[in-house]
Amino acid sequence: MNIKPSYYHAFAVAGFLGLFALLMLWNTVLAPSPRFPVALMLVITVIPLLLNMRGLLDRKPKSCAWMAYISLIYFIHGSIEAYANVSERFYASLEILLSLMLFFGATFYVRFAGKQG
């Protein structure tokens, strides 16, 4: 079975867009932090995703590899939140799922796109 690298890229982009939307909604509408301003939480959580967004969308292998590394931060954050915060476990589980989608999609895209050309 031979899967095209563009499918892996679409999987990574779906994970990226889902993670971006989840973080935006989680910190503003769904469960804003009572201790920190919303703007600060958005800067801390969303800015790392935006660093390599253009390269991911342009299918640049180096940016996709970096996005895979960055997604591991969100995996760790989601795992800690799922364990520690029962009231937000659903959102944390979504964060884990979407960060894994981004990680595996970007990793497999870089791996198999290099073999094609």
Which one-letter DSSP state was computed for residue 3? Answer: -
- Kindly report, residue by residue over 9-60, the tens digit of the pLDDT: 999 999 999 999 999 999 999 998 889 999 999 999 999 999 999 999 999 9
Predicted TM-score (pTM) of the model is: 0.91
Sign of torsion over alpha carbons 104, 72, 49, 113: negative
Q: Where are the alpha helices (DSSP H) in 26-88?
A: 38-50, 53-57, 61-84
116 pLDDT more than 80: no
Residue 37: strand, helix, or coil: coil
Both tokens of residue 86? Answer: 């029962």
- Kindly report, residue by residue over 61-115, the tens digit of the pLDDT: 999 999 999 999 999 999 999 999 999 999 999 999 999 999 999 999 999 987 6
Which one-letter DSSP state was computed for residue 2? Answer: -
